[in-house]
Structure 1
């Protein structure tokens, strides 16, 4: 800028107008969504108690924030909405693959977390490198079997116990004799003549 000021003092008004136009040409266009700076990698993914935790810096408050994700039930759209709820100063937010393809809002997070991707927040692009399956946390090993069988990360014993609790409660209301039912079911399973009927 000192060179432009020096020009301003030495040249007549017409030349000063031209110098001002030169200065305006170097301003950034407000319609550009991607930054020309190299992508930063201040978005991290770690696994805590078997669930992925995405940590990023919110642009308005310049503070770190963590988002815990249930990868088999949370979609990319829900994840991005959660970020926007936390920082309402975010105008543009998208998840983009490394080849530049935008992920749809209905894509499940487990698909997104399988490979590296970019998170576009306003005008800055952040590289995200999720840890490979089986690495990144001791607790991840408890989560990985759920990925291979496509089940949500819940305790089966708890859900079975909850089912039994509700079943016995409703049976009591309907005056259903569970002991008699179990006895008849076992007799049916043991009697060979009745098993022939059930197979036909």
Structure 2
């Protein structure tokens, strides 16, 4: 017995026991079109199928065969017995010979003769094929894209529902952190004002400048040491906007820990929502699906 883990051996055994391919199928040019003549088993007659190699796939050809003869089970094989995927374009398939299997009856199909053309005409023909394929992809949206759009809309709605309570909590935490940051800045301003007033009072009313000059020197030196310590601890210069932002984040994360607000979860949901919106925008404009992201982003 052949073990199931060797599908290639099974395929070889099946095809070795099957009858050799017959030549009942013909593929030729007729009236400027490529025509496939196939015998249908249920109708006991041959039927002509006009092919569009640049627009049709293997799955389209099999669907046409089964639509014409509901009792027919068909699939395509390469000359070495390998299955041909349904998404393969007929234009690619017709470059080599292949086999058509209908209800266990194997038919060998020869590739059609190619018209000899100049190299420039061949390049123009290939460019035209590429343009036609892109237009077909852009103008005929597959069903799986519509299904994907529906799934993306459902995913976006789910993400927004999860984000709604987090957005409210984030707004409250941001408001509290902004208030505490402003209060810390005004407290620092008040302390500096008190310090300046105390130094002036001690200089003009209690002591003289000769006494207060060393005091002010050491106060300035201590302030420089404090600024340098801030740089060592934070690896940032003591710039007032940066200090304000750092203090805001400190109060925000402190409040988030108290309220059990997950910043990582919030950021992850925001990234997912942005990605879903970008995917939906691409699906609405199918001619941009194959463009790089930087070429389709809206300019500010």
Q: Under a length normalisation based on structure 1, what TM-score does the superposition of the two structures give?
A: 0.51
**Cα displacement (A) at 1:33:** 7.1
Query: 1:119-172, CA deviations, whole angstroms, 9 ceiling, x for partnerless residues?
Result: 01011100000222118xxxxxxx97775322549xxxxxxxxxxxxxxxxxxx
Find out whether 1:84 has 2:62 as its counterpart.
no
Match of 2:84 in 1: 103
Candidates 120, 126, 129, aligned match of 1:148: 126
Match of 2:93 in 1: 112
Query: 1:15-45, CA deviations, whole angstroms, 9 ceiling, x for partnerless residues?
Result: xxxxxxxxxxxxxxxxx97562221111111
Match of 1:66 in 2: 48
Match of 2:25 in 1: 43
Cα distance between partner residues in 2 of 1:127 and 1:146:
31
Cα distance between partner residues in 2 of 1:147 and 1:99:
30
Find out whether 1:75 has 2:53 as its counterpart.
no
Query: 1:56-92, CA deviations, whole angstroms, 9 ceiling, x for partnerless residues?
Result: 10011110101111111101001100000001111x3
Cα distance between partner residues in 2 of 1:33 and 1:122:
14
Candidates 103, 112, 115, aligned match of 1:131: 112
Find out whether 1:53 has 2:35 as its counterpart.
yes
Cα distance between partner residues in 2 of 1:101 and 1:82:
22
Q: Under a length normalisation based on structure 2, what TM-score does the superposition of the two structures give?
A: 0.35
More strand, by proportion: 1
Instruction: Give the secondary structure class of the aligned counterpart of 2:108.
Output: strand
Cα distance between partner residues in 1 of 2:22 and 2:81:
16
Unaligned runs of 5+ in 2: 1-12, 134-300
Query: Does the 8 A contact of 1:114 with 1:132 survive in 2?
Result: no
Cα distance between partner residues in 1 of 2:124 and 2:60:
21
Query: Does the 8 A contact of 1:41 with 1:128 survive in 2?
Result: yes
Q: Given the superposition, is the C-alpha separation of residues 61 and 110 from structure 1 closer, same or farther in structure 2, using an over 3 Å criterion?
A: same
Decide which structure has the larger Cα Rg and report it: 2
Cα distance between partner residues in 1 of 2:39 and 2:125:
28
Q: Given the superposition, is the C-alpha separation of residues 113 and 144 from structure 1 closer, same or farther in structure 2, using an over 3 Å criterion?
A: farther
**Cα displacement (A) at 1:104:** 0.7
Query: Does the 8 A contact of 1:146 with 1:152 survive in 2?
Result: no
Bigger RCO (CA 8 Å, 6+ sep): 1
Q: Given the superposition, is the C-alpha separation of residues 63 and 108 from structure 1 closer, same or farther in structure 2, using an over 3 Å criterion?
A: same
Q: Given the superposition, is the C-alpha separation of residues 146 and 62 from structure 1 closer, same or farther in structure 2, using an over 3 Å criterion?
A: farther
Q: Moved runs in structure 1, 4+ residues, more than 6 A?
A: 143-146
